[in-house]
Structure 1
Amino acid sequence: MASNKQLTARDIMSSGVQCVGAHQSLFEAAKMMRDLNVGCLPICGDDNRLTGLITDRDIVVKCCAEGVDPAAVQAGSLAGTLHWIDAGAGATEALEIMETHQIKRLPVIDVGKGHSLVGMITEANLAKNLDDEQIAEFAARVYAGTS
């Protein structure tokens, strides 16, 4: 394996990511997550550009636990703050963004190709591509103070 300093976000990401539309319901998002066997979906606007992310936990905590019908809530309403990385950026930069913002998933955008979503970097991608010391630091920083 090449040194991770040479790896780019594109090298370590998972491709084939599917978006839920900002105007689709949380119920539809939940069905997509089930069918794709994922716990997070990118949210894309009408222009197919990334507007946010939604997790299965978001749906449970911010909708279901509040007694709100998931079929009545648009996915875009839970978009939150968006962090992403360019596909050509270094893998180390992706790690730094995830640690700084304490996030477990990072969308990968190809700025040179119309700002299109090309993949997602997850904890599993990091575990496969980084050394033990970097993984330990990531875990300590991202999970610090969380239960």
Structure 2
Amino acid sequence: MKQVKELMSTNCKTVTLQDNVYEVAVIMAQNDVGFVPVVDSNDSGKLIGAITDRDLVVRGYAKKQPGSCAVSEVMSEALVTVSSTTDAEEAADIMAAHQIRRLPVVDNGRLVGVISLGDLALGNTTGRDAGQALSQISEHEHQNTVH
């Protein structure tokens, strides 16, 4: 069974509380990502939150927050995380249970990577992991979609 550390992305772009939402949006656009971890600038790599493209829209633009708005205004702080030694199957189960597509990977309080549904699918875990997680997440999103 593969562990998260074998599948996760380790070259994650991050921001700190000193950054603003414009800088987050630029990082997302330049790196073709929709998830940017927020780390403590005083404590190298300590994960304190994350911002998704959805956070930028819902907590930023929809609330008329300008591009100079602080990262703290739009970031999520209550994050679900896993360690690098977590089994890939367990990571998929956590994603499904919490309806999320990405999990920060944290060892000793420090961000060491991010694992996504795509990583699980490409990692050829047990075959059911990524597909089942995506199915459960998509089903939940479909139920919350306004028609």
Q: Is the pair's TM-score, using the shorter chain for normalization, greater than 0.5? A: yes
Which deviations, in whole Å up to 9, do the C-alpha atoms of 1:93-135 show, x marking residues without a partner?
Answer: 2112111111100011122xxx321111112101112344333
1:3 corresponding residue in structure 2: none
1:68 corresponding residue in structure 2: 65
- Give 3-state SS (helix, strand or coil) of 1:21's partner: coil
- Give 3-state SS (helix, strand or coil) of 1:20's partner: coil
| CA positional deviation for 1:22 | 2.0
Which deviations, in whole Å up to 9, do the C-alpha atoms of 1:28-69 show, x marking residues without a partner?
Answer: 111111222211100112323101110122112221122221
- For the residues of structure 1 that align with 2:51 and 2:21, how far apart are their CA atoms? 9
Runs of 4 or more, structure 1, over 4 Å off, are none
1:121 corresponding residue in structure 2: 115
- For the residues of structure 1 that align with 2:25 and 2:128, how far apart are their CA atoms? 35
Contact (CA 8 Å) 1:59, 1:70: kept in 2 or not? no
User: Percent of counterpart pairs with the same letter?
Assistant: 29
- For the residues of structure 2 that align with 1:53 and 1:37, how far apart are their CA atoms? 16
Contact (CA 8 Å) 1:104, 1:123: kept in 2 or not? yes
Q: Which runs of 5+ in 2 are unaligned?
A: 143-147
- Give 3-state SS (helix, strand or coil) of 2:33's partner: coil
Give the aligned CA root-mean-square deviation in angstroms: 1.6
2:17 corresponding residue in structure 1: 22
Q: Which runs of 5+ in 1 are unaligned?
A: 1-5
Does the alignment pair 1:91 with 2:88? Answer: yes
